[in-house]
Amino acid sequence: MALSSVLGRYALIKRLLRSPLWFEQSIQIGLDNPGVVSPRWVKAYLSQEIGYISGHAAYSDHLINLLREKRYKIIQVIRHPGAFIYSWSKYIEEPGYYWNEARQALLTMDFDQRLEFMITGGIAGSFYYPGIREILQRAEGWYLQEDVQVVRFEDLIGPEGGGDSARQDRIISELLNYLGMDWTPDDIDYLKRNLFGGTVTFRVGKVNQWRKDMHPETYRSLMAEISSFPFLKELGYTD
């Protein structure tokens, strides 16, 4: 579940079908913009026999209780905020980005300016774009829940993305155990082969590539914004 649930293609129809009624308590989704949907739609969506759902959902007690009610296992994959804004700034350049007016406004900036904008936030077209601190505040709640399995992107990506193979093996086995699945070493090898490169998990990406490409001044601005989050320190992202 993400903001594309109410924006993008057929946005008007999506909003009509998925927006909360006047008497309903809405559920906020989306990390980059707090769109809202009806709890009726969320419940119906969670009831589908689809195996899993994914998205960039903002944390709320309402949403996590609906997930628990449907007995979902919750996994939060998190990566360094610097890598996040670097990847997002690249993604905005691609055709088909669902938030077209914001995309057009952000494309008037060069890449370094766009990174700075992602850190501080501001107005893009007629939309307000939150800075990295606000986005982290929306995501932090997932990390604080005891029944949410938190995985670092850098540990899962493996050697093809500049990570460590043994660490990748350990993380995948922990995830399979968390999901209550029986597995063999062959299963882990299969998953490793299908994680990276044009897949729904990792399209592209290299550990720390963002750091090599980011201007030192931009890096200092980023660290000043994120250093106050204890959960990022625990994950090793503020050193």
Distance CA 146, CA 140 (A): 13
Range with lowest mean pLDDT among 82-86, 187-191, 193-197: 193-197
Model pLDDT for residues 2-13, shown as the tens digit of each residue:
445 444 554 544
Q: What is the mean pLDDT of the chain?
A: 83
- Output the pLDDT for position 10: 43
Residue with the bigger pLDDT between 1 and 217: it is: 217
- Output the pLDDT for position 180: 94
- Output the pLDDT for position 19: 58
Reported as a pLDDT band with limits 50, 70 and 90, residue 184 is very high
- Output the pLDDT for position 6: 43
Instruction: Please state the length of the chain.
Output: 239
Phi, psi angle pair for 150, to nearest 5°: -100, 130
Q: Residue 76, SS3?
A: strand
Output the pTM of the full model.
0.83
- Output the pLDDT for position 97: 57
What is the full DSSP assignment across 178-189?
Answer: HTT----HHHHH
Closest CA to 127 of 95, 96, 103: 103
Q: Work out whether the CA dihedral 113, 117, 123, 125 comes out positive or negative.
A: positive
- Output the pLDDT for position 218: 95
Distance CA 155, CA 168 (A): 6
What element of type H or E holds 29?
strand 27-29
Which ranges of 92-193 does DSSP label H, i.e. alpha helix?
Answer: 100-106, 111-120, 132-143, 153-156, 165-178, 185-193
Distance CA 121, CA 131 (A): 4
Percentage of the chain beyond pLDDT 90 is 49
Model pLDDT for residues 191-208, shown as the tens digit of each residue:
988 886 655 445 456 778
- Cα–chain center distance at 91: 13
Structural domains in the chain, CATH included, are 1-72 (no CATH), 73-239 (3.40.50.300)
Q: Residue 135, SS3?
A: helix
Cβ(83)–Cβ(153) below 8 Å: yes
- Output the pLDDT for position 18: 61
Range with lowest mean pLDDT among 6-10, 130-134, 167-171, 230-234: 6-10
Triad 144, 177, 46: Cα angle to 5°? 65
Reported as a pLDDT band with limits 50, 70 and 90, residue 226 is very high
Cβ(163)–Cβ(196) below 8 Å: no
Model pLDDT for residues 24-54, shown as the tens digit of each residue:
677 877 787 667 788 888 888 888 867 788 8
- Output the pLDDT for position 155: 94
Residue with the bigger pLDDT between 213 and 4: it is: 213
Range with lowest mean pLDDT among 6-10, 115-119, 191-195, 222-226: 6-10
Residue 85's Cβ-count burial label (10 Å; 0-12, 13-18, 19+) is buried
Residue reference for tokens 């060069």: 110
- Output the pLDDT for position 149: 97
